[in-house]
Amino acid sequence: MTDRARDEQWMRVALAEAARAGADGEVPVGAALVVDGALVACACNRTLRDCDPTAHAEIVVLRKAATAVRNHRIGGVLYVTLEPCLMCMGALVQARIERVVFAAPDPKAGAAVSLYRVGEDVRLNHRFAVEPGPFGEESAGLLRDFFRERRAETA
């Protein structure tokens, strides 16, 4: 399997999680964490459900993965449908993630490439690759549709 095909495979898992979040009334963001080629955990946004401002898909997947591998230093590759925010990028540094692949950029809050480049900051004790990945338009479409529906409900 090519690297591109592998990225598409795991991003599809993240997209399914994002769709699940949207169906539950959460902002549709999903994540999948892969270690040594195997899916360790997948999750979606749960901030409303959990009444927890830190329950972004990336944080939830890190919590699940850390439990699964029984270590807070997880490593692996994170696939996420939206460019991670500053909080999530900080957690990814702590988890020693090796690579982040995101579908849609986040020009208002993205800390991987849009506003900051946390993954490559030499002042931090861990750095990792960050790459735009497949299905950017699909992910952005989920977000656009979600917020369009929210605005229509409040109008």
Please give the model's pTM, rounded to 2 decimal places: 0.96
| Per-residue pLDDT at 118 exceeds 90 | yes
Which residue in 8, 17, 26, 58 is the catalytic one?
58
Q: What is the rounded CA–CA span in Å between residue 106 and residue 109?
A: 6
Mean pLDDT across 101-120: 98
Q: What percent of the chain has pLDDT over 70?
A: 100
Active site residue 58: yes
Structure confidence by residue, pLDDT tens digits, 91-110 = 999 999 999 999 999 999 99
Residue scoring higher pLDDT (152 or 86): 86
Structure confidence by residue, pLDDT tens digits, 127-151 = 999 999 999 999 999 999 999 998 8
**Residue environment code for 123-137, b if the CB has 16+ CB neighbours within 10 A, otherwise e:** eeeeebebeebbbbe
| Per-residue pLDDT at 153 exceeds 90 | no
| Per-residue pLDDT at 154 exceeds 90 | no
Paired tokens of 51: 């009444």
Mean pLDDT across 45-70: 98
CA distances from 151 to 1, 28, 35, 141, 144 (A): 42, 15, 39, 15, 11
